[in-house]
């Protein structure tokens, strides 16, 4: 089960209630250029993100990321002054660089999403 606030997530992304499987939540977002789809799968503790100019999660999509996730955090606005919002997706219940698997934020300049997968590894 993913620890998150679905209602808070719905403030920023449109909830597409088209999943027939409990625990799978489908969200969409349209920027000026790209269309995005975010799927939160509480059954598998996974978040999937895709973007494209026509149809996300298609054979022609620009990208698709599938990352493990146990908790979704919304960063305070004052810590991300240049972004309208900034979500962090972590593999544990604590926010650490080691547990960070993905961030999604919205650029204020053009309304597009910035989607960054993280694969942090400490230097040895």
The pLDDT mean for the chain works out to 88
Torsion of CA 109, 78, 67, 119, to 10 degrees: 100
Domain ranges in the chain are 6-117
pLDDT digits (tens, 9 = 90+) for 39-56: 999 999 999 999 999 999
* Number of other residues whose CB lies within 10 A of the CB of residue 30: 12
Mean pLDDT calculated for residue range 24-46: 96
Helix (H, G, I), strand (E, B) or coil at 77: helix
pLDDT at 101 exceeding the cut of 70:
yes
φ, ψ (nearest 5 deg) of residue 47: -120, 135
More confident residue, 89 or 86: 89
pLDDT-derived band of residue 34, with 50, 70 and 90 as boundaries? very high
User: Please, which pLDDT band fits residue 98 given cuts at 50, 70 and 90?
Assistant: confident
């Amino acid at each position: 089960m993913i620890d998150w606030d679905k209602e808070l997530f719905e403030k920023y992304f449109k909830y597409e209630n088209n999943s027939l499987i409990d625990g799978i939540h489908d969200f969409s977002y349209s920027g000026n250029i790209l269309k995005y789809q975010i799927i939160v799968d509480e059954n598998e503790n996974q978040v999937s993100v895709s973007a494209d100019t026509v149809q996300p999660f298609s054979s022609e999509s620009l990208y698709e990321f599938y990352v493990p996730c146990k908790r979704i955090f919304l960063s305070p606005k004052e810590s991300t002054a240049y972004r309208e919002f900034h979500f962090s997706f972590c593999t544990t219940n604590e926010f650490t660089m080691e547990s960070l698997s993905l961030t999604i934020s919205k650029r204020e300049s053009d309304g597009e999403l910035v989607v960054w997968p993280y694969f942090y590894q400490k230097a040895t």
